[in-house]
Amino acid sequence: MGRHPARDIIVVAASAGGLMPLRAFLGGLPADLPASVLIVLHIPATGGHALPGILDRSTPLTAGAAEDGERLAHGRVYVAPADHHVLVAGGRIRLSQAPRQNGVRPAADPMFQSAARYGGPRVVAVVLSGTLDDAALGCAAVERCGGRVLVQDPDEAAYPGMPASALAATQHAMALPVTDLARLAGQLASGTEPDSVPGALAADHPADGSVRFEG
């Protein structure tokens, strides 16, 4: 294992079929996680009020609805509120009611892209079960800025569209079962980069534009 700068901003996206893996991911993170965790789960504009409490009971960290102007702190989970995009700027949370992206608000792409602009290599992007391709452009931005991209193994996801789209949009993303995603995210937050991850599938992009996996 190598030592690298700590990746202390973890952004997570989930949609259809994503609540259970999201709870499992949060439950697998260490109580002393030296990182902030920001979450977008696609929810109706009038719903989702119970989500922060559900996630708070699922993790050893402290979870709550993201608030505008709140400073990022380690060990905290910030949950996107209904009908608001969550952005990262200057080390703080910014809430926005800008137009929907990918047909949803909150959307993953604006959160991932703003985190990449702010944090660069400090960012870990995690994509869980969901349909369509929200988070794909955001994952590409995270990777371009030196961050890491992790996705739920599409074969494990109830809806593989979002994980598969993130893999297709990146060059070095890794696909793992959710419990292994949490373990790896914790290692990356502490500044440890494993030389290899057993069972991981790494995207390989041949010249013909297809995507293969090696693992």
Annotated active-site residue 109? The verdict is no
Catalytic residue, chosen from 8, 133, 134, 153, is 134
Q: How far apart are CA 142 and CA 124, in angstroms?
A: 8
**Residue of 8, 42, 133, 153 with catalytic role:** 42
- Residue ranges of the alpha helices (H) in the chain? 19-27, 51-56, 108-119, 136-144, 161-169, 178-189
Do residues 199 and 174 make contact, with C-beta atoms less than 8 angstroms apart?
no
Closest C-alpha to 7, from 28, 37, 27, 39 = 37
Pairwise CA distance, residues 73 & 59, whole Å: 16
Identify any residues that bridge with 203 across adjacent strands, giving them in sequence order: 213
49 is catalytic: no
Contact 6, 190 (CB under 8 A): yes
Decide if 115 contacts 109 (C-beta within 8 A): no
Catalytic member of 15, 36, 114, 129: 15
Please indicate whether residue 15 is annotated as part of the active site.
Answer: yes
Comparing CA positions, the residue from 175, 182, 205, 18 lying closest to residue 104 is 18
User: How far apart, in whole angstroms, are the C-alpha atoms of residue 64 and residue 130?
Assistant: 22
Active site residues: 15, 42, 134
